[in-house]
Amino acid sequence: MACAAVMIPGLLRSSVGTVRSLAASLKPTASTLRHLTITSIMKSKRKTDHLERTANVVRREVLSAAKVCGAAAESPSVKRLRLLVADKDFSFKAGQWIDFFIPGVSVVGGFSICSSPRLLEQERMIELAVKYTNHPPALWIHNQCTLDAKVAVRVGGEFFFDPQPADATRNLVLIAGGVGINPLLSILRHAADLHRERADKGSGYEMGTVKLFYSAQNTSELLFKKNILDLVNEFPEKIACSLHVTKQTTQISAELKPYITEGRITEKDIRDHISEETLFYICGPPPMTDFFSKQLENSHVPKEHICFEKWW
């Protein structure tokens, strides 16, 4: 199990053999990758360039080919992608992100994985949810990306939940703002997989409870609502959520209403869940992560129990 405070930047047709061939053809030499990285940094004028911002963050060495095999609108401003990564050396821990290399686009994207490691193990798939911005990788995903498009990906990040079978049971409190839900959804899905494994096999890591606090402007911008509520209903004694909206102008559906609070997540909401067994994972805009991490420290939560990641 590990967590750390870092800053971050959100239909299968062809055979697996084809993608393996692509992986081999795209696998760059160290000098080529170094050149690509340096060129990408030099050409990006954004002060919050992903590669610059995460230059000192741990990355895996493996650069793997991937193919877009599904795309859909998750909200009016967020597009969901499903990628096939056939390379068996590619793996990730729940909560990590990928460097996203697009042929013909000089700037490298940085997007958190929102799927669980189990999906990759079983189907060789990962999922992303990318908000529309004028950053070149996001523009490509929203305006140019097509099924079967080929990209390359590399895992990085020190923000993750990866308990081992003998580790002590932990409860989780997940605090998300906007597209900051992405790595926390991966952690939530991983926690659900751990509950299923324990129930099916009677062995493996014994997961505690999980409480998700998730805030967005309105219900249309609350991503993955169905996925979240499905997990709450599957594990009513283990997984709970509190969905917050700050600028709701339309009627809230009957299905969502029991889970919705109009207004921001408050210090009291979080303080009520503090215990020695609880880990806190926070991902959202910098002011939000700063506020809650500071409040938790002031409430004497050990720093090693506070894990945060900022998106920009």
* DSSP states along 266-284: -HHHHHTT--TTEEEEEEE
Q: What is the mean pLDDT of residues 166-184?
A: 97
Q: What is the mean pLDDT of residues 133-149?
A: 97
pLDDT digits (tens, 9 = 90+) for 242-278: 999 999 999 999 999 999 999 999 999 999 999 999 9
* pLDDT recorded at residue 212: 98
Which band of pLDDT confidence, cut at 50, 70 and 90, is reported for residue 46? very low
Q: What is the residue-averaged pLDDT of the chain?
A: 88
* pLDDT recorded at residue 49: 85
Q: DSSP string of 47-66?
A: TT-HHHHTTTS-B-S--EEE
Please name the residues in contact with 43: beta carbons below 8 A apart, sequence gap of 6 or more: 106, 107
Least confident range from 14-18, 154-158, 299-303: namely: 14-18
* pLDDT recorded at residue 312: 55
Which band of pLDDT confidence, cut at 50, 70 and 90, is reported for residue 310? confident
Residue with tokens 């339309």: 250
> Virtual CA dihedral for 102, 106, 107, 111, nearest 10 degrees?
10
* pLDDT recorded at residue 64: 98
Q: Is the pLDDT of residue 219 over 50?
A: yes
Q: Is the pLDDT of residue 111 over 80?
A: yes
Q: What is the mean pLDDT of residues 283-289?
A: 95
H/E stretch holding 152 reads strand 150-156
* pLDDT recorded at residue 48: 62
pLDDT digits (tens, 9 = 90+) for 51-97: 999 999 999 999 999 999 999 999 999 999 999 999 999 999 999 99
Positive or negative CA dihedral for 202, 207, 213, 214?
negative
Residues 77-104 as b/e (b if ≥16 CB within 10 A, e otherwise) read bbbbbbbbbbbeebebbbbbbbbbbbee
Which band of pLDDT confidence, cut at 50, 70 and 90, is reported for residue 311? low
Domains identified in the chain and CATH numbers: 58-156 (2.40.30.10), 170-310 (3.40.50.80)
Q: Is the pLDDT of residue 30 over 60?
A: no
Residue 32 is given by DSSP the state: H
Please name the residues in contact with 186: beta carbons below 8 A apart, sequence gap of 6 or more: 94, 95, 96, 112, 113, 114, 115, 116, 117
**What residue type is 115 in one-letter code?**
S
Q: What is the mean pLDDT of residues 123-136?
A: 97
The better pLDDT of the pair 292, 15 is held by 292
Q: What is the mean pLDDT of residues 178-194?
A: 98
Secondary-structure breakdown of the chain: helix, strand, coil percentages, each rounded to the nearest 5 = 35, 25, 40
* pLDDT recorded at residue 65: 98
